[in-house]
Amino acid sequence: MCYFFDLIRELMKLALEEVDAGLVEETKKQGYQIEKKNKRSVVTAFGEISYWRRRYVCPGKKAQYPLDKLMGYDKYKRYSVLAVKDVLQVSAVATYRNTALAVNTLSCFKISHSQVGKLIVQAGKQIKAQQQSEERYDGITQKKKAPVLYLEGDGVVIKGTKKRLEFHRYQVCEDIINLSKTRRKRVQAKGFVSLSRLDALQEIKAYLANTYDLSDTLIISNADGGAGYAKKDFDEIVGYCRQHEHFLDVFHLNKKIKDRLGFMPAMQSKLISAVEFKYDRHLTDVILDTIESNLVDELNTPENHENLKRLRSYLHRRWVDIKPFKMRHLSVIKAIGCCESNHRKYTYRVKGQGKYWSEDGAEGILRVLTCIKNNELEYWLSSEFAGGQLDIGDQEELKGAVRASLRKTHEAHLGIHHGAIESLTAGHSYLDDFGRKLSQINI
């Protein structure tokens, strides 16, 4: 195994140097001249390789290494794109130390747990910069039309090294695919996550505005109704559309009722039935009034009165959003409420086991997890992260460089040189013998 990996590294070194030689002619046409050759080491998926490449200079222009630019080996970065991708995929399900252990055991290069953390922070910053860039959607010429879009959002609190942190998630999903009369499958949800709710909000707004034509689309949104996740906030995300139906998440509604009525468990199920299943405003008020009339003796405390008052206000404010799905007579099936379950990919990684995060570390791992969930990690790492995304023109340039480097060219020879030493002495001497023997050697 070691022999073949050494062979692969040697072949990679030779291939890079051959490609560098093939780029000479094209680079010189741009006005650059070769200044010198410098050595560089890069850690790849099959180990560390060292190669020599040419540095070019041009008056009035920045010096460059065309080979590094072509291959996507950024300045001051020692790891290739594939090596970084492998490390990030392991780090998505393991701690930094376990990631380093797995990489050191199963790969051909060594890495420390601190270096794993640096790669995640670096990747997170670069991915975030790309996902928030204004040029991200420049290549989209025609927007998609979807009859229905499902939109959900929620926030999760995690521990920070200096203060409590909260990350915000939004996910958008297209309509349901009817696989058969009895079996349906939901299209893969696309997620957006950030420590800043404003950043996540702007990213999903840009995605919807640049990807979809919503003029004839039904938007179905779902959230817990907390700060930043009310219907008006989703109206701001969606903008203009055919119809927008917002739902208060049933899980959070049940939890709110049970928390507020913890002093009277027997009335919890009755209130839930009146609100969620019967959706009867009058019956709900009657049950709330009954609960208030039973606040006597040991239940007659300011805390219980306050909880009941807040619950009544909560239900009245969100009564429109509580309306059940089946009572809205929509032409689609219910496919909301999965945002909480999709939190698990994040919470299993960033919560528990005494984990504390810096803001950069948390942002980095969240961006990586989102890219993996969206099946976009390779796309983002192969673009601006290392400049290694080769388009069709670059591939043709690479092929031309390889062909040019393998083509044998004629080199002028000066012929055979003869060496001679004059003894400057009369008669035979050892210098005469040495001179005669030297003249017989071709240099």
DSSP states of 277-313: IS--HHHHHHHHHHHHHT--GGG--HHHHHHHHHHHH
Beta bridge partners of 233: none
> If residue 431 lies in a helix (H) or strand (E), which one and from where to where?
helix 430-439
Average pLDDT over residues 254-279: 93
SS3 state of residue 37:
strand
- What is the model's pTM? 0.77
CA torsion, ordered 384, 388, 393, 396, to nearest 10 deg: 180
**Is 148 inside any structural domain?**
no
Q: Which of 19-23, 188-192, 400-404 has the lowest mean pLDDT?
A: 400-404
| Phi and psi torsions of 27, nearest 5° | -70, -40
**Is 329 inside any structural domain?**
yes
The answer to whether 80 touches 18, Cβ cutoff 8 Å, is: no
Average pLDDT over residues 78-86: 89
Question: pLDDT by residue (tens digit) across 203-219?
Answer: 999 999 999 999 999 99
**Cα distance between residue 434 and residue 425, in whole Å:** 14
Q: What is the pLDDT of residue 308?
A: 94
Q: What is the pLDDT of residue 358?
A: 94
**Is 122 inside any structural domain?**
no
Task: Supply the DSSP symbol for 242.
Answer: S
**Is 407 inside any structural domain?**
no
Average pLDDT over residues 252-261: 93
Confidence of residue 183 (pLDDT cuts 50, 70, 90): low
Q: What is the pLDDT of residue 405?
A: 52
Where would I find the H helices in 351-429?
359-373, 377-381, 392-406
**Maximal C-alpha separation, the chain:** 138
Q: Which of 29-38, 151-160, 184-193, 341-350 has the lowest mean pLDDT?
A: 184-193
DSSP states of 44-112: ETTEEEEEEEEEEEETTEEEE-HHHHHHT--TT--B-HHHHHHHHHHHTTS-HHHHHHHHHHHSSS---
Confidence of residue 421 (pLDDT cuts 50, 70, 90): low
**Is 36 inside any structural domain?**
no
Question: pLDDT by residue (tens digit) across 316-333?
Answer: 999 999 999 889 988 887
**Is 236 inside any structural domain?**
no
Structural domain harbouring 258: 250-333
Q: What is the pLDDT of residue 333?
A: 78
**Is 360 inside any structural domain?**
no
Name, in order, each residue with C-beta under 8 angstroms of 135's C-beta and a sequence gap of 6 or more.
Answer: none
- Indicate if the pLDDT at residue 57 is higher than 80: yes
Listed in order, strand segments (DSSP E) in 146-204 are 148-158, 165-174, 176-178, 184-186, 190-194
- Indicate if the pLDDT at residue 275 is higher than 90: yes
Could you tell me the two tokens for 7? 């062979």
Average pLDDT over residues 66-89: 87
Vertex 237 angle, CA 235 and 241, to 5°: 60
Question: pLDDT by residue (tens digit) across 126-161?
Answer: 899 988 888 888 878 889 888 889 999 999 999 999
Average pLDDT over residues 38-60: 91
Q: What is the mean pLDDT of the chain?
A: 84
Question: pLDDT by residue (tens digit) across 369-390?
Answer: 999 999 999 888 876 433 333 3
Average pLDDT over residues 396-411: 57
How many domains would you assign to the chain?
A: 1
**Is 46 inside any structural domain?**
no
